[in-house]
Amino acid sequence: MDLYEHQGKDLFAKHGISLPERAVATTPEEAADSAERLGGHVAVKVQVQAGGRGKGGGVALVHSPQEAADAARRMLAEGFNGTVVTRVLVERLVDIAAQFYAAISLDRSVGAYLAMVSNEGGVDIETVAQESPSAIRRLHVDAMLGLRPYHARRLSGHLPEETREGAAELLGSMFEVLASADATLVEVNPFVQLTDGTVMALDAKVTIDDNALFRQPDVEALKESFPVDPIEKRAKDAGLQYVKLEGEVGIIGNGAGLVMSTLDVVAQAGASAANFLDVGGGASAEVMATSLEVILSDPDVKSVLINIFGGITRGDLVAEGVLGALSRVSLEVPIVVRLDGTNAEEGRRLLAEANHPMIFPAETMLEAARRAADLARGAAA
Amino acid sequence: MAILVDERTKVVVAGITGSEGTFHSLRNRAYGTQVVAGVTPGKRGQDVEGIPVFDTVADAVEQTEANASLIFVPARFAAEAVYEAADAEVGVIVCITEGIPVRDMAQVRAYLRGNRTVLVGPNCPGLISPGRCNVGIIPGEICMPGRVGLVSRSGTLTYQIVHELTQRGIGQSTCVGMGGDPVHGIGFTGSLERFEADPETDLVVMIGEIGGADEEHAAAFIRDHITKPVVAYIAGFTAPPGKRMGHAGAIITGSSGTAQAKAEALEAAGVQVGRTPTEVAELAQAALS
Q: Nearest by CB to A111, from B24, B98, B183: name it.
A: B183
Residues 6+ apart with CB under 8 A from A206: A2, A3, A7, A8, A11, A177, A181, A183, A185, A186, A187
> Looking at the DSSP assignment, which residues form a beta bridge with residue A92?
A42
Cβ–Cβ below 8 Å for A215 and B101: yes
- Predicted complex ipTM: 0.91
Measure Cα distances from B284 to A41, B24, B232 in Å.
67, 30, 9
Spatial separation of the C-alpha atoms in residues A42 and A30, rounded to whole Å: 13
Cβ–Cβ below 8 Å for A341 and B139: yes
Contact A213, A224 (CB under 8 A): no
Q: How far is B149 from chain A (nearest CA, A)?
A: 19
Cβ–Cβ below 8 Å for B245 and A256: yes
Domain boundary assignment for chain B = 1-123, 138-289
- Nearest chain B residue (CA) to A216: B101
Spatial separation of the C-alpha atoms in residues B258 and B236, rounded to whole Å: 8
Using alpha carbons, select from B225, B68, B46, B75 the residue that is nearest to residue B134.
Answer: B68
Collapsing DSSP states into helix, strand and coil, what is residue B172?
A: strand
CB atoms closer than 10 angstroms to residue A378: 11
Collapsing DSSP states into helix, strand and coil, what is residue A319?
A: helix
Residues in chain B: 289
What average pLDDT does this structure show over A196-210? Answer: 96
* Chain A contact present for B160, CB below 8 A: yes
Cβ–Cβ below 8 Å for A281 and B137: yes
- Dihedral sign for Cα A367, A373, A377, A379, please: positive
DSSP secondary structure, A61-93, as one string: EESSHHHHHHHHHHHHHH-BTTB----EEEEE-
Contacts of A312 in chain B (CB under 8 A): 20, 24, 137
Q: What is the pLDDT of residue B266?
A: 97
Cβ–Cβ below 8 Å for A243 and B240: yes
Q: Nearest by CB to B159, from A241, A280, A341: name it.
A: A341
Spatial separation of the C-alpha atoms in residues B43 and B46, rounded to whole Å: 6
Using alpha carbons, select from A48, A90, A84 the residue that is nearest to residue A72.
Answer: A90
Q: How far is B4 from chain A (nearest CA, A)?
A: 21
What average pLDDT does this structure show over B241-254? Answer: 82
Contact A192, A108 (CB under 8 A): no
**Per-residue model confidence as pLDDT tens digits over A22-41:** 999 999 999 999 999 999 99
Cβ–Cβ below 8 Å for A263 and B105: no
* Chain A contact present for B213, CB below 8 A: yes
Q: How far is A273 from chain B (nearest CA, A)?
A: 9
Spatial separation of the C-alpha atoms in residues A190 and B153, rounded to whole Å: 37
Cβ–Cβ below 8 Å for A276 and B245: yes
Q: What is the pLDDT of residue A125?
A: 87
Mean per-residue pLDDT over chain B, rounded: 95
Contacts of B209 in chain A (CB under 8 A): 256-257, 260
**CATH code for the domain defined by B1-123:** 3.40.50.720
Q: How many CB pairs below 8 A link A and B?
A: 183
Say which CATH architecture domain B138-289 belongs to. Answer: 3-Layer(aba) Sandwich (3.40)
CB atoms closer than 10 angstroms to residue A84: 10
List of long-range contacts for A29-32, beta carbons under 8 Å, 24+ apart: A29/A69, A30/A72, A31/A65, A31/A68, A31/A69, A31/A71, A31/A72, A31/A88, A31/A90, A32/A65, A32/A66, A32/A68, A32/A69, A32/A72
Cβ–Cβ below 8 Å for B243 and A265: no
Q: What is the pLDDT of residue A70?
A: 97
Q: How far is B250 from chain A (nearest CA, A)?
A: 8
**Per-residue model confidence as pLDDT tens digits over A93-133:** 999 999 999 999 999 989 999 999 999 998 888 888 889 99
A77 residue type, one letter: A
**Per-residue model confidence as pLDDT tens digits over B147-166:** 999 999 998 899 999 999 99
**Per-residue model confidence as pLDDT tens digits over A335-362:** 999 998 878 889 999 999 999 999 999 9
Please report, in angstroms and rounded to a whole number, the separation of the first and last CA atoms in chain A.
Answer: 40
Q: Answer yes or no: same fold for B1-123 and B138-289.
A: yes
Mean per-residue pLDDT over chain A, rounded: 93
Q: How far is A34 from chain B (nearest CA, A)?
A: 34
Q: Nearest by CB to B276, from A110, A260, A366: name it.
A: A366
Q: How far is A260 from chain B (nearest CA, A)?
A: 5
> Phi and psi dihedrals of A363, rounded to 5?
-80, -45
Contact B185, B119 (CB under 8 A): yes
Q: How far is A370 from chain B (nearest CA, A)?
A: 13
Using alpha carbons, select from A79, A74, A44, A75 the residue that is nearest to residue A59.
Answer: A44
Measure Cα distances from B219 to B199, B247, B265, B267 in Å.
22, 22, 6, 8
Q: Which domains does chain A have, with CATH numbers?
A: 1-18+95-227 (3.30.470.20), 21-93 (3.30.1490.20), 230-380 (3.40.50.261)
pLDDT band, residue B13 (cuts 50/70/90): very high
Cβ–Cβ below 8 Å for B210 and A364: no
pLDDT band, residue A161 (cuts 50/70/90): very high
Q: Nearest by CB to A263, from B109, B207, B238: name it.
A: B238
What average pLDDT does this structure show over A304-330? Answer: 85
**Per-residue model confidence as pLDDT tens digits over A141-153:** 999 999 999 999 9
Spatial separation of the C-alpha atoms in residues A22 and A20, rounded to whole Å: 6
Cβ–Cβ below 8 Å for A210 and B98: no
CA torsion B241→B243→B244→B249, rounded to 10°? 20
Contact A259, B246 (CB under 8 A): yes
Q: Is the peptide bond before A190 cis (omega within 30 degrees of 0)?
A: yes
Cβ–Cβ below 8 Å for A264 and B240: no
Using alpha carbons, select from B134, B116, B114 the residue that is nearest to residue B2.
Answer: B134
* Chain A contact present for B185, CB below 8 A: no
Clarify whether A165 is annotated catalytic: no
Using alpha carbons, select from A53, A3, A10 the residue that is nearest to residue A183.
Answer: A3
Indicate if the pLDDT at residue B37 is higher than 90.
yes
Spatial separation of the C-alpha atoms in residues B21 and A152, rounded to whole Å: 45
Residues 6+ apart with CB under 8 A from A291: A235, A238, A240, A252, A277, A279, A283, A321
* Chain A contact present for B217, CB below 8 A: yes
What average pLDDT does this structure show over B50-78? Answer: 97
Contact B92, B9 (CB under 8 A): yes
More confident of the two residues A82 and A160: A160
Q: What is the pLDDT of residue A50?
A: 82
CB atoms closer than 10 angstroms to residue A217: 8
pLDDT band, residue A313 (cuts 50/70/90): confident
Spatial separation of the C-alpha atoms in residues B19 and B28, rounded to whole Å: 14
Q: What is the pLDDT of residue A379?
A: 65
Contacts of A144 in chain B (CB under 8 A): 107, 110-111
Residues 6+ apart with CB under 8 A from A381: none
Cβ–Cβ below 8 Å for B110 and A142: yes
- Nearest chain A residue (CA) to B255: A126
From chain B residues 262-281, the ones with a CB under 8 A of any chain A CB are 275-278
Q: Nearest by CB to A245, from B105, B240, B275: name it.
A: B240
Spatial separation of the C-alpha atoms in residues A289 and A286, rounded to whole Å: 5
Contacts of A255 in chain B (CB under 8 A): 154-157, 246
Spatial separation of the C-alpha atoms in residues A266 and A243, rounded to whole Å: 16
* Chain A contact present for B159, CB below 8 A: yes
pLDDT band, residue A380 (cuts 50/70/90): low
> Looking at the DSSP assignment, which residues form a beta bridge with residue B93?
B69, B119
Q: Would you please indicate which residues of B are annotated as catalytic (active-site) residues?
A: 247
Cβ–Cβ below 8 Å for B142 and A112: no
> Phi and psi dihedrals of A58, rounded to 5?
-90, 0
Spatial separation of the C-alpha atoms in residues A298 and A376, rounded to whole Å: 14
Cβ–Cβ below 8 Å for A109 and B217: yes
Indicate if the pLDDT at residue A308 is higher than 60.
yes
* Chain A contact present for B138, CB below 8 A: yes
Measure Cα distances from A339 to A20, A84, A272, A343 in Å.
58, 40, 21, 9
Q: How far is B233 from chain A (nearest CA, A)?
A: 9
